[in-house]
Structure 1
């Protein structure tokens, strides 16, 4: 089955301002985020990519723009199911203010029970994202053959929930996972199980290219920042 290359969007203006953006329109990459996006084509230069899928939000589409410019044969498709969590009334608020909300303790320690006021539950967020990956795995396999790689650009909490699913972790443990802005997380799916190949990788990614000789590689063996955070300084 397909190899999924999950890219978290580059650092955004909301990340640097400490704001939980959610689906707030107009949140773009900041200067560092744009530089991170510009480096992505070089990092993926050795990887044949069969398809590119994005969250509909601007910061994800901006992150993929340099990759699409470098590979004009690719066309970006969007899928709302990998869009950011719907944080509802929390959207647009400062994270340091939200830290005092009683719900934050649930989000941190029992996220499977967390539902954002006016938004969605974290269980629903994970379910829709997992459904999207399953659908795209099947589509890529059918169109490009087993072993093809495809890119999805999404958001911190979405990617963490997909990693938890791939590892068989309960959603209540997903806050133990961290992914940097514009980092790459790679999951190779097989008929019987997925393999987490990389988590939050910020370096060169040529190793993800399918092997043409020899056996296929099958795998390698505090409070979380809701929304993913701004990354290392």
Structure 2
């Protein structure tokens, strides 16, 4: 089975201002965000990636650039496959976009977002159920394509946004969308999923440190080890 590394973009100016950026243009990584992305890129430098697929939004493209630069590529700076994927783009928050989180927390819909997100459609925007459906469909489509082209040992990266990655992880964990707020995904964090023939395996969530060289090993067994196994060798 192929391995997908889910990377959230680094911290942005909107994050520090407490603003829901959504799909607004011109939202870039701040100084800390660039440092976070550089550190994350360094972690991935030891992993031979077959591709990087990014949300089209600028903050994700910036983050993806740190990954590309870490791979010691040729002068074109290209992996065998690099792409932008609309399915990985931020949720369409509609009329909520550009407003402060402090202000939004006073809205009646806020409590529904916290406890019953499957029922939420943002005014003038997207439903959270639709957000999850299109992001999961996109991640599985790319994963199948990379495995078909590069084999079961293929490792690739998807760069996206907090709610998108949380919804993908919830699906892989078999969690209802209403439980996805239990998952945390920090800026420039790394989460790892393997989609097997029978079920996904969530290998890691929300990590911001640690050695990833074990991802260079031979393809993992399809079956889960009874008793937990020996870990990453």
The two structures share one fold, judged by TM-score above 0.5: yes
1:17 corresponds in structure 2 to 17
Distance apart, 1:213 and its partner CA: 9.0
Q: Distance in 2 between matches of 1:98 and 1:183?
A: 25
Secondary structure of residue in 1 paired with 2:33 = helix
SS at structure 1 position matched to 2:163: helix
**TM-score, length of structure 2 as denominator length:** 0.89
Distance, in Å, in 2 between the alignment partners of 1:12 and 1:161 is: 21
| Aligned equivalents of 1:207, 1:123: Cα separation in 2 | 35
Distance 1:109-1:67 versus aligned 2 partners, 3 A rule:
same
Are 1:10 and 1:36, in contact at CA under 8 Å, matched by a contact in 2?
A: yes
Mean Cα deviation higher: 38-47 or 118-127: 38-47
Give the superposition deviation at 1:205.
3.8
**1:41 matches 2:41:** yes
Q: Distance in 2 between matches of 1:213 and 1:67?
A: 22
Deviations 1:98-150 (A, max 9, x none): 00001111111100000000100000000000000111011101111112111
1:186 is paired with a residue whose SS is strand
* Displacement of 1:209: 1.2
2:143 matches 1:137: yes
Query: Mean Cα displacement is larger for which, 153-162 or 207-216?
Result: 207-216
Name the residue aligned to 2:106: 100
Q: 1:125 to 1:205 in 2, by over 3 A?
A: farther
Q: 1:113 aligns with which of 113, 119, 126?
A: 119
How many residues matched?
221
Q: Is the Cα–Cα contact under 8 Å of residues 45 and 70 in structure 2 kept in the other structure?
A: no
Normalising by structure 1, report the TM-score.
0.89
What displacement does 1:215 show?
5.7
Instruction: Give runs of ≥4 in structure 1 deviating > 3 Å.
Output: 212-221
Aligned with 1:191: secondary structure?
coil
User: Would you say the 8 A contact 2:40–2:208 is kept in 1?
Assistant: no
RMSD: 1.9
Whether the aligned pair in 1 keeps the contact of 2:93 and 2:125 (CA below 8 Å) is yes
- 1:158 pairs with one of 155, 164, 173: 164
**Distance of 1:32 and 1:76 partners within structure 2:** 25
Question: 1:79: which partner in 2?
Answer: 85
In structure 1, runs of 5+ residues without a counterpart are 222-233
Structure 1 segment 196-207 matched on structure 2, within 5 A: 196-207=202-213
Find the residue that maps to 1:29 and give its secondary structure: coil
Q: Give the match's secondary structure for 1:67.
A: helix
**Separation in structure 2 between the aligned mates of residue 218 and residue 48 of structure 1, nearest angstrom:** 24
Tell me which residue corresponds to 1:169: 175
Contact 1:44 1:204 in 2 (8 A): no
Measured after TM superposition, the shift of residue 208 of structure 1 is 4.6
